Amino acid sequence: MITMEELQSAIKLRVEKYNNKDFPLDKRAINTCELLDSQNQILAQDIKSFFDVPRQNLSAMDGYAIAQGSVISTDSTIEIIGESQAGSAFTGELAAGQGVRIFTGAVVPDSCDTVIMQENTNFAEIKDTLDKSQPYAITLSQTAQIDSNIRKQGEEIESGEAVLNVGKRINPADISLLANLGISQVKVFEPLIVGVLATGDELVAVGDELTSLAQIYNSNTPTLKTLLTDLPITIRDYGIIPDDLDKTTSAVNQAMQDCDVLISTAGVSVGDYDFLTTVIEQLGQINHYKVAMKPGKPFVFGELTKNVDKPVLYFGLPGNPLSTVVGTLQFVIPALWQMSGASLSEQPMQLNVKATLTNDIRKSVGRKDFQRGVLTQGEAGRYQVECFSSQQSHRIKQLSRANCFIVLDKDSGNVAAGNTVTVQPFPWLHS
């Protein structure tokens, strides 16, 4: 049985091959996306600036722009003959010993090489007596350095410089950058098509009526769709497939014609009515089956290859809700970001923190364990975590009450209160 880390590595290597050979990124379709719709999309082009940023020398603060050649030491006097505001630059000529009043973000006149902070002049003493429509004199109360308080043209971005590169996952800060450059549209990779299906005679779609005590609602599909919300993908829902070999084969065959990836929930164990593994082997291959983790041991990673132009990667999740969440977070989401063309630095990282355990944990050696808990921050910013006493994977209320997984290595046994443990906060708490 493969370890969780071995499976993560195997999936990553398979996706690298997929991106380089089966469905190369440079062969993928590209969409034009409006800037405000581009968050979490993957850039398919390098984006270059068409101008310098700043476009001209700008003042970093309110004060006075002083002409080149002026004496700018303590007690020097400067004649102020105008002003430069943001959006309204001073256009006159300046000689040594002269300057203009200037405001933060305003253009520094070409003939000026220094901006004096307003606080380093006697402006506060004379402001009530000034007629600003006429020239007036200020006195420096502190020596200034040439080039001080000026944001130089092009010091942040030079014209023609690449500001974002292919593989960037666009975030709000990127949108701010692009808006500052006047870019209203970007080229992004066309979303992958991801099929989802659930299996089981007992399942009923949410919103429909339960007509038998043997029936339960299909919670896995809504859970899975929600977990995948932020990904740049298009989801196709193939509904609930009954426990029937022919119907399962038909549904999988249709999905593999339509999709780049197929994700199923339930039907991957060894029961008499679990047909998915049989179908996957008929239409492709199972690369890995069963992983040494709890919950989620009967996880299937494979690919569908029969009568398709390129392999359709397959992820088979167990049927209980907790296993769906754990398997999706640990395996499916990282793989989908990688498949979508996000560069390594743009693929979300799993946040791990250390916390002090406040109660005892029971665990058997042999599998990596994800136990539900409540993480809090105590005195001096120290994290502490309480583990729920019961950890059965069918307990959906506990999953809702929890805000983290306590991650225990496969070789770990029971853990006593007071020990330090690794905790993974749920991503929706810090996204």
Average pLDDT over residues 268-285: 83
Residue 35 lies in a domain: no
| β-bridge mates for residue 354, sequence order | 422
Q: Is 248 helix (H, G, I), strand (E, B) or coil?
A: helix
Which of 201, 285, 207, 189 minimizes the C-alpha distance to 247?
201
208-231 confidence digits (pLDDT tens): 999 999 999 999 999 999 999 999
Whether residues 180 and 308 fall in one domain: no
- Exposed, middle or buried, 36 (CB in 10 Å: 0-12/13-18/19+)? exposed
| Gap between the Cα atoms of 85 and 106, Å rounded | 5
In a domain, 231, yes or no: yes
- Per-residue exposure over 201-217, b if at least 16 CB sit within 10 Å of its own CB, e if not: ebbbeeeeeeeeeeeee
Alpha-carbon dihedral 413, 415, 416, 417, rounded to 10 degrees: -170
- Among residues 151, 170, 203, which one ends one of the domains? 151
Q: What is the mean pLDDT of residues 166-170?
A: 97
Q: Which residue has the higher pLDDT, 1 or 262?
A: 262
Query: Is 329 found in the same domain as 378?
Result: no
408 with 364, same domain: the answer is yes
Q: Which two tokens stand for residue 60?
A: 């970093």
Do 207 and 277 reside in the same domain of the chain? yes
Q: Is the pLDDT of residue 43 over 70?
A: yes
Task: Give the model confidence (pLDDT) of 400-415 as tens digits.
Answer: 899 999 999 999 999 9
Per-residue pLDDT for 389 more than 90?
A: no
Paired tokens of 302: 């494979």
Using the 3D structure, point to which of 322, 346, 370 is the last residue of a domain: 346
Q: What is the pLDDT of residues 112-153, one digit of tens each?
A: 999 999 999 999 999 888 887 899 999 999 999 999 999 999
- Same domain membership, residue 174 and residue 70: no
Q: How far apart are CA 231 and CA 255, in angstroms?
A: 19
Q: Which domain range does residue 181 map to? A: 47-53+156-188
Q: For 61-120, what is each residue's pLDDT tens digit?
A: 999 999 999 999 999 999 999 999 999 999 999 999 999 999 999 999 999 999 999 999
Does one domain contain both 204 and 288? Answer: yes
* Gap between the Cα atoms of 10 and 4, Å rounded: 10
The answer to whether residue 272 scores a pLDDT higher than 90 is: no
Residue 57 contacts residue 154 (beta carbons within 8 Å): no
User: What's the whole-model pTM score?
Assistant: 0.90
| CATH number of the domain that residue 410 is part of | 2.40.340.10
Tokens of 143: 């020596």
pLDDT band at 267 (very low <50, low <70, confident <90, very high): confident
One domain for residues 214 and 329: yes
- pLDDT > 90? residue 350: no
Chain segment 176-212, per-residue pLDDT in tens: 999 999 999 999 999 999 999 999 999 999 999 999 9
pLDDT at position 396 is 77
Same domain flag for 232 and 342: yes
Q: Is residue 266 part of a domain?
A: yes
- Band of pLDDT at residue 270, cut at 50, 70 and 90: low
pLDDT at 16 over 90: yes
| Domain-located, residue 285 | yes
Per-residue pLDDT, 399:
87
What is the CB neighbour count within 10 angstroms for residue 145?
A: 8
- Is 213 in the same domain as 71? no
Q: Is the pLDDT of residue 391 over 80?
A: no
Q: Residue 133: is it exposed, middle or buried by C-beta count within 10 angstroms (0-12/13-18/19+)?
A: exposed
Domain presence at residue 183: yes
What is the pairing mode between strands 312-317 and 261-265?
parallel
Q: Which of 188, 211, 241 is the endpoint of a domain? A: 188
Residues 275 and 310 in one domain: yes
Check which CATH number belongs to the domain holding 325 and give it.
3.40.980.10
Q: How much is the pLDDT for 392?
A: 67
pLDDT tier at 273 (50, 70, 90 boundaries)?
low
- The number of residues in the chain equals 431
Q: Which of 7, 3, 8 is nearest to 369 (CA)?
A: 3
Q: CA-CA-CA-CA torsion for 173, 178, 179, 182, nearest 10 degrees?
A: 170
339 and 231 belong to one structural domain: yes
pLDDT > 90 fraction of the chain, expressed in percent and rounded: 89
Structural domain count of the chain: 4
Residue 363 lies in a domain: yes
- DSSP per-residue string spanning 366-382: TSEEEEEEEEEE-GGG-
pLDDT of residue 397: 83
The residue to which tokens 């929706």 are assigned: 428
pLDDT for the residue numbered 121:
95
State residue 9 phi and psi, 5-degree precision: -65, -40
In a domain, 36, yes or no: no
Same domain, 286 and 198: yes
Among 6-20, 65-79, 374-388, the minimum mean pLDDT is found in 374-388
Query: What average pLDDT is seen over the chain?
Result: 94
Is residue 71 in some structural domain? yes
Q: Write the CATH number for 67.
A: 2.170.190.11
State the residue for tokens 């809090």.
Answer: 376
Contacts of 44 (CB under 8 A, 6+ apart): 28, 30, 166, 187, 188, 189, 341
